Structure 1
Amino acid sequence: MKFVKVEIVDGIAAVSLGRGKVNALNDTIVDELMQCLEKLAADGDIRAIVLTGRGKFFSFGFDIPEFLAFSKAAFTDFLTRFAGLYAYLFTFPKPVVAALNGHTIAGGCMLALACDYRIMISGRAKISLNEITFGASVFAGSTEMLRFWVGSARATEVLYSGAMYSAEEALDIGLVQAVSPGESLIDRARQVADDLAAKPAPAFSGIKSLLRKPVAEEMMRHEAASIREFVEIWYTEDTWVNIQNIKIR
């Protein structure tokens, strides 16, 4: 795979995103990550996953400059496959720990929310669902997964404000469960993954399904309509101007 790398140690698969400086999400990396997860789900020797990024970003979110050239139909197709990816990750039968090595923005935050546990690097990194700040909407999956973790009142605050949260602020509101210095981030994530994987696998998978299936069903019920609305808003004049001014560094 070009952008998704896997390193397996003692049954823990460290899956890292590496695309450019900011690990922006496009067709290829979404497809690669889906293929990777499906393979790891089917591998009986894999007990848990640590999902992380390379460099100073976990993920910036969508590769906006690339999508500027997409038609509505092509963009809708991508969004539908991306929604399928995070829905699959949200209901993945094995433990998945996100090691947030840097900025975790928009679509990157959605991937993180789909995991079982999030550990964020301390320091200058930010986490956000900031779509409203440039005039975009969000997906049904965004709202349901966020509500699952932080509750309705806090989810409303996060989505209406589009605020950028530091690791400590994210910990305080429940966006992440732990904060770690960079030098120990991956080791800490591996330890959490190992602890979760030490539980009887059928029991873990069953409990995870009971917790998440109602949320996943609600996501599925509204996802297609939310994607259509997302696309319509994305291509409005004001939002389009804002999107064109976004720079990926």
Structure 2
Amino acid sequence: MLTESLEDGIIIVRLSHGKTNSITRETMEKMAVIVEKANTDDAIKGIILTGEGKFFSSGFHLPTFINFKDHAAAVDFFEFEEDFLLNYFICKKPVICAMNGHTAAMGMILAMASDYRIVSSHPKIKLGMSEIKLGLALTVAELEVMRFGLDTDKKFRDVMYFGNMVSPEKALELGIVDEVLEADQLIPRAKEIICTWIDNPGRAFITLKDSVKYDAAQRIRTKLAELDWRSPLHGFFDPHVKATLEFVQATMEG
């Protein structure tokens, strides 16, 4: 599901699952442990999240959704996912997303939840959020993370409502990513950013990040507690949505 290595005090996480580095519950469980390690081990400077091969990540492993036994199973999955995503979003240490390839859906959400986003300049790479074309909305944490990362309601509208996939250069123009680099520069640049941010007296970055993300994190906690966000998960059992997910999955496997 992923590989983990430690270089220069920085944890490098490489998504590795199937052709598209799809994200399973096991992937999130392993990443949750890594986030906790970064939070509690003073020797860890930060996390770099990247992928193997031609994909950063296509998003969630679609068979998980297709094979939900019932609504309760969907709720169980997303209750865990929401907790994981919030903790990833507020990780105390710098988290840099180094997108080595195609990025969509949960892959893009993880990128938005990171503190800085860099992407390879390969001409075939596409990035975006196509959920609306699949008949899917976002959960509470997913939506708040995307709004935070995209910075404005207009950017959120343009990315989420149109569901277009764009080139790295267009993503940079739209402010979706921070830098477009050659593939071999991704990890060195990510390391450089982490060290620049964390290697300061008193590690002031940690306090700054907590303050900057505090309001968004509180909105997530409040909405998860107060809103009926579980009922819309019945949408996964809509015949049209399920057929679309099955078609997309078959296309990925082909």
Please give the TM-score of this superposition, normalised by the length of structure 1.
0.93
Paired residues, what number? Answer: 247
Shift of 1:223: 3.8
Look up the equivalent residue of 2:5 and give its one-letter code.
E
Which ranges of structure 2 fall in alignment gaps of 5 or more residues? none
Q: 1:20 maps to what in 2?
A: 18
Query: Against the structure 1 CA distance between its residues 139 and 226, is the aligned structure 2 distance closer, same or farther, given a 3 Å change threshold?
Result: farther
> Identity, % of aligned pairs?
32
CA distance in 2 between counterparts of 1:64 and 1:174 reads: 28
CA distance in 2 between counterparts of 1:226 and 1:159 reads: 21
Look up the equivalent residue of 2:246 and give its one-letter code.
Q
Q: Secondary structure at the match of 1:245?
A: helix
Encode CA deviations 1:11-56: one digit per residue, 9 max, x unaligned: 1111111112211111211111111221232111101111111111
Query: Against the structure 1 CA distance between its residues 192 and 230, is the aligned structure 2 distance closer, same or farther, given a 3 Å change threshold?
Result: farther
CA distance in 2 between counterparts of 1:8 and 1:68 reads: 35
Shift of 1:230: 4.2
CA distance in 2 between counterparts of 1:230 and 1:90 reads: 23
Please give the TM-score of this superposition, normalised by the length of structure 2.
0.91
CA distance in 1 between counterparts of 2:86 and 2:7 reads: 26
CA distance in 2 between counterparts of 1:220 and 1:166 reads: 34
- The question of whether the paired residues in 2 share the 8 Å contact of 1:113 and 1:145 is answered with yes
CA distance in 2 between counterparts of 1:203 and 1:79 reads: 33
CA distance in 1 between counterparts of 2:65 and 2:154 reads: 32
Which ranges of structure 1 fall in alignment gaps of 5 or more residues? none
CA distance in 2 between counterparts of 1:153 and 1:199 reads: 35
Work out which of the residue numbers 4, 17, 34 in structure 2 matches 1:6.
4
Shift of 1:158: 0.9
- The question of whether the paired residues in 2 share the 8 Å contact of 1:119 and 1:180 is answered with yes
- The question of whether the paired residues in 1 share the 8 Å contact of 2:198 and 2:204 is answered with no
Farther off after superposition, 194-203 or 67-76? 194-203
Q: 1:81 maps to what in 2?
A: 80
CA distance in 2 between counterparts of 1:227 and 1:7 reads: 36
CA distance in 1 between counterparts of 2:9 and 2:90 reads: 20
Query: Against the structure 1 CA distance between its residues 69 and 147, is the aligned structure 2 distance closer, same or farther, given a 3 Å change threshold?
Result: closer
Q: 1:103 maps to what in 2?
A: 102
Shift of 1:227: 4.3
Q: 1:233 maps to what in 2?
A: 235
Q: Secondary structure at the match of 1:77?
A: helix
Q: 2:153 maps to what in 1?
A: 152
CA distance in 1 between counterparts of 2:141 and 2:127 reads: 17
- The question of whether the paired residues in 1 share the 8 Å contact of 2:65 and 2:236 is answered with no
Q: 1:137 maps to what in 2?
A: 137
Encode CA deviations 1:132-164: one digit per residue, 9 max, x unaligned: 011111122233222223301110111111111
1:26-175 equivalent positions in 2, closer than 5 A: 26-71=24-69, 72-123=71-122, 124-150=124-150, 151-175=152-176
Farther off after superposition, 36-45 or 108-117? 36-45
Q: Secondary structure at the match of 1:246?
A: helix
Q: Give RMSD over aligned pairs.
A: 1.7
- The question of whether the paired residues in 2 share the 8 Å contact of 1:136 and 1:230 is answered with no
- The question of whether the paired residues in 1 share the 8 Å contact of 2:82 and 2:142 is answered with no
CA distance in 2 between counterparts of 1:171 and 1:230 reads: 33
